[in-house]
Amino acid sequence: MRKIAFLLLICMAFSACSVTNTSKKSDAITIVTTFYPLYVATLNVTKDIPQVNVVNLTKPSNGCLHDYQLSAQDMKTLSKASVLISNGAGLEHFMDKVSAQIPSLKVVDASRGLPLLQDEEGDNPHVWVSVLGAIGQTKNIADQLAAIDNTHAKQYADNAKQYVNSLEALQADMHNTLQFAKGKKIVTFHESFDYFAKEFDLEILFKVETHDGQEPSAGELANMTNKMRAQKVSAIFTEPQYKSPSVGVLTQETGVKHYALDPVVSGEADGNLTAYITIMQKNLAILKEALK
């Protein structure tokens, strides 16, 4: 009888052990983000939660994910993940493939419910480039992560609040500094700065790159030059991730200088929590100089 009781005790101890082990294991979650700005936002939302591991799927050099094709390695990474943080608004053309091949993967849509700008191709996905959009995406990531991983819901909410406070301070600083530039006309490279221009009340006269990502033809370039000569354009803004020979031609023809603004699509691969804010502060310094 005593022996049986002893055995029972051991069994109970064992099962208790295994229960603890399993729950610990199921606590650990890997979150994959599709690209850099979401990676930085998610690092902030999941800060100081040891059970949560954040991995960025694409290399910083991939820039914006227009036309990005998933590799076999990407699919492998995704098959091991619990959650995928996507930008949404049509940026990730590969989402159908992901949900068909890994139906169990939970997907966060960082742009859910946010007001989207439209262009000829439909929704403009560059929501994160305005600080307002980055704040909305941070809140979306925290809310949707909390619904998926209830255990850490409070930490996600607290972290998001803290990060949003920093973003709001940045936003206030930018609005103060750029007050003088309201209504100024600029030329941009592709559609990435539309949200930014709207937030800070800058007018984009046109974009240098054509809709399918090509350099303008000689005729189009001549039209652009004429448009710029007819209006007072403050500056042309390019992006460090893309090189465009046409921009040099426009500067040469019109005398309007060009500057590089970073749409925060690339940066340090390891966990840099302040990357978005640092890059935007650099952009602010450039804008101040370019629009004066």
Residue ranges binding Zn ion (CB under 5 A):
64, 192
CB of 11: closest distance to Zn ion in angstroms? 59
Nearer to Zn ion, 115 or 213 (CB): 213
Residue 25 DSSP code: H
CB of 126: closest distance to Zn ion in angstroms? 6
CB of 211: closest distance to Zn ion in angstroms? 12
Nearer to Zn ion, 119 or 268 (CB): 119
DSSP codes joined into one string, 152-195: GHHHHHHHHHHHHHHHHHHHHHHHHHTGGGTT-EEEESSGGGHH
Nearer to Zn ion, 83 or 114 (CB): 114
CB of 58: closest distance to Zn ion in angstroms? 13
114-130 as b/e, with b when 16 or more CB fall inside 10 Å?
A: bebbeeeeeebbbbbbb
Nearer to Zn ion, 129 or 287 (CB): 129
Query: Whose CB is nearest to Zn ion?
Result: 64
CB of 239: closest distance to Zn ion in angstroms? 9
Nearer to Zn ion, 46 or 56 (CB): 56
Rounded to the nearest 5 degrees, what angle is found at the Cα of 152, between the Cα atoms of 48 and 33? 70
- CA-to-CA distance for 114 and 51, rounded, in angstroms? 29
- CA-to-CA distance for 193 and 189, rounded, in angstroms? 8
